[in-house]
Structure 1
Amino acid sequence: MNLETIHYKSPIGIAEITGNENGIQSISVVNNDSLTTLINATSNTPNTLKNCVTQLDEFFKGKRTKFDLKLNPQGTIFQQKVWKELLKIPFGKTKSYLQQTKQIGDIKAIRAVASANGKNPIWIIIPCHRVIGSDGSLTGYAGGVWRKKWLLDHESGCKQQTLF
């Protein structure tokens, strides 16, 4: 089945979403200021991609804290294991790379876990932005550390708003 691509303009950049009816295969930020024409959904766009755009929009508007999408990330068995652990980190919470490594069951694999996080193909939905350094520092993020900070601040703000 052919992959389709759609773009979504978010507050932190243009997201390129790729997938088909088998699920979302990738979401990445497009660092291309020359991309002025966004590819919008058509009647031929798979529902999986349309639902992803809707849910991302709800997330950025502070109306969604959990995604309900069919995911189909491509990676090694180890990467898949790491990404599944990322999905367990609750909205508005963070974990250190060391904590994530312990949950996977091999504390010696911290560099491999960090590398797998860096290769996470599904931006925001698989929340690698919620993984921080053991000292609380905002370490690397494929979309840029400023986006990681923005996402963590956004989730913190949305969580606080729901308390009142």
Structure 2
Amino acid sequence: MIFVYYDSPIGILRITEEEGSITSIYALDEDHEVSAPETPVLQKGVQQLDEYFAGTRKVFDLPLKQEGSDFQQGVWNELCRIGYGKTISYQQQSKFLKNPLGIRAIASANGKNHLLIVVPCHRVIGSDGSLTGFGAGIWRKKWLLEHEARVMGVGQTTLF
């Protein structure tokens, strides 16, 4: 396991690589010394996050791998279908997954996503438009959604 600490507008991110794939991107609440990426995969990850925060990247093209059940993998794949600058509710996500009674299980799988920003769980909101359920902190979710809205030139994010 190799990792890099990356300084972002939402704080220090720890990007982890294992066997040629990015396996996690976590926001940290404590300070860490920023380090230079040591591998081509981590370099590409840092470059693409730089582009995202600069507003020039809307889709990521990285080798990703996170461990999870088939159900979790399906939920995470669905997250990747939410367009940049758009949001969906947990209820909408459950309908897209053809599991309208599985809202809690789907929300739980969203919470187990280890690839912050790249697998955009920040784009899932409450049915009433509230910002709920984000392990990295609601303030980060708000920042990410506002950033994407600014880049898209709209006052707020729009529904999927």
Tell me if both proteins adopt one fold, taking TM over 0.5 as the criterion. Answer: yes
Matched, 1:152 2:150: no
* Separation in structure 2 between the aligned mates of residue 150 and residue 30 of structure 1, nearest angstrom: 15
Partner in structure 2 of residue 103 of structure 1:
96
Tell me how far 1:104 sits from its aligned partner. Answer: 1.0
How many matched pairs? 154
The two structures have a TM-score, normalised by structure 1, of: 0.90
1:39 to 12, 22, 35: 35
Unaligned runs of 5+ in 2: 155-160
* Separation in structure 1 between the aligned mates of residue 153 and residue 138 of structure 2, nearest angstrom: 23
* Separation in structure 2 between the aligned mates of residue 21 and residue 53 of structure 1, nearest angstrom: 17
Unaligned runs of 5+ in 1: none
Partner in structure 1 of residue 58 of structure 2:
65
Tell me how far 1:48 sits from its aligned partner. Answer: 1.2
What SS does the corresponding residue of 1:152 show, helix, strand or coil?
helix
* Separation in structure 2 between the aligned mates of residue 55 and residue 109 of structure 1, nearest angstrom: 33
* Separation in structure 2 between the aligned mates of residue 22 and residue 100 of structure 1, nearest angstrom: 30
CA shift digits 1:25-77 (9 cap, x unpaired): 000011113x2x22212xxx221111000000111111111111111111111
Return structure 1 stretches of 4+ with deviation > 3 angstroms. none
Structural RMSD (CA):
1.2
Partner in structure 1 of residue 158 of structure 2:
none
* Separation in structure 2 between the aligned mates of residue 149 and residue 18 of structure 1, nearest angstrom: 24
Matched, 1:136 2:132: no
What SS does the corresponding residue of 1:94 show, helix, strand or coil?
strand
**Aligned residues: percent identity?**
51
Partner in structure 2 of residue 114 of structure 1:
107
1:92 to 68, 85, 89: 85
Matched to 2:71, the amino acid is F
CA shift digits 1:104-155 (9 cap, x unpaired): 1111110000000011000000000000011111112011001000000000
